[in-house]
Amino acid sequence: MTHAQIQGVFQKQKNNRLFLAQSDAKVRIAKLKRLQGYLLDHIAEACSATREDFSKPEAETIIGELLVLQSEISYTVKHLKRWLSPQKQSSTLSAIGTSAYIQYEPKGCALIIAPWNYPINLAFKPLISAIAAGCTAIIKPSELTPNSSAFVKSVVEHLFQPDEVAVIEGDADVATQLLSLPFNHIFFTGSPLVGKIVMKAAAENLASVTLELGGKSPSIVDETADIPMTARLIAWGKFFNNGQTCIAPDYVLVHHSVHDRFVNEIKNVVNEMYNKEGKGIEESLSYARIVNEKHFHRLLSLLSDATESGAVIKVGGESRLSSRFIAPIVLTNVKDSMRIMNEEIFGPILPIKSYGTLQEAVDHVNKGEKPLALYIHSKNKNNSEFILKNTSAGNALVNEVLTQFGNPDIPFGGVNNSGIGKSNGIYGFQEFSNAKGVMRRRFGTVRFLFPPYSERFVGWLKKGLKWV
């Protein structure tokens, strides 16, 4: 699509934004239900697209792409009428005689830049919030997953007019052209490095942003943890989608007293999950592949740097470039100086590092950037509370992994380097909305505040400060 064509789509949506802003909950709910129904009717096509792009197992497409969307739509449909109703606010003494409420109004034209790792989910989940808020939306899917991007475009073209929702495919040049346009809100999912570029571009038009980024999300396993269950949770969370998940456990800090037991349990779990019949993990139909050769080589480079510096491969190590296959890898004897302990891994390599005291584990987390997710595995409530109170993360889960993204009752998102803004449920709706405060005077007057100001009046003001 040429720059002129991109500008044309944007202008159509800009011209239509005020009309969409007037739509009520009933109209928006009908749109969401159409999207929900269409996705249900085209499960096979969605699974085929992700399988073609990076051999994603059918079950993982349903769980990681479609189930979350169905839940988000159902939740939004249930609550949208209430969200759009005026939210009555109490008035302070200084505002006596007035009533106040919050009215959510759409920000206007939205741009959604979706990533490749969950190409269907992360294109449509923010769209659900945009529709609920009454915004127009242009979706820029990732060029790294062309089949999934084509599926997203097909869905949109079947359900929406271009002046309401449109999909514009292309590479980084197309993204740059889109970012130059005066959108009212930009929702970006991707790396912190690109997130900074998006935020700079948004600043040119003073557009608000939601940045869902990433980083190194730690798992802390203390000496009281249920090791068999913890190993299963971490293995599932890490190797789901071949580790290409922004909230995957990036590395594990495990108490030295249970370190060896945990490593052995992880080894057993990987075998149970992906090699139960003994044919080799490469034959497993439950294991995805790396998205492209660039990321394949990046991961092997991280692994090579670690092993050359003394890291020990305890599980896995097999790879095949022709199919972009990397078996689940577990590393021990890792050092903080290694690249793998400083860069987001985003693949099926799990470094495990032991610690002595809980304070050591907390200090390790706090010396890095604030993570998108923090996972705590413990039966000791005091231990988990200590970690929660002494660390900062976008979300924190105790004896659980990954499921925060699909829970519409809590906000999902990062903090600072791991993200800005939130999604899920009402929090996503609010990202695409302006919370307009409205005040209405019911009785009385503020004429006594008008000048000229006498000394007596100033004295009265000084005395009145303590009553406000």
Tokens representing 335 are 């050092």
Q: How many CB atoms lie within 10 A of CB 264?
A: 14
Nearest to 227 by CA among 375, 378, 345: 378
Is the Cα torsion angle 25, 73, 79, 186 positive or negative in sign?
negative
Which is it for strands 395-398 and 98-106: parallel, antiparallel or unpaired? Answer: unpaired
Return the C-alpha torsion angle 460, 466, 467, 468, nearest 10.
100
- Looking up tokens 């090699």 gives 275
Which is it for strands 98-106 and 433-441: parallel, antiparallel or unpaired? Answer: antiparallel
DSSP 372-414: SEEEEE-S-HHHHHHHHHH---SEEEES--SGGGG-TTS-B--
Burial class (CB in 10 A: 0-12, 13-18, 19+), 231: buried
Look up 246 and say whether it is catalytic: yes
**Which distant-in-sequence residues (6+ apart) come within 8 Å of 196 by Cβ?**
none
The Cα–Cα gap between 112 and 108 comes to 13
Choice among 60, 65, 72, 212 that is catalytic: 212
Choice among 246, 265, 344, 431 that is catalytic: 246
The Cα–Cα gap between 135 and 158 comes to 19
Tokens representing 252 are 């594990």
List the catalytic residues.
Answer: 212, 246
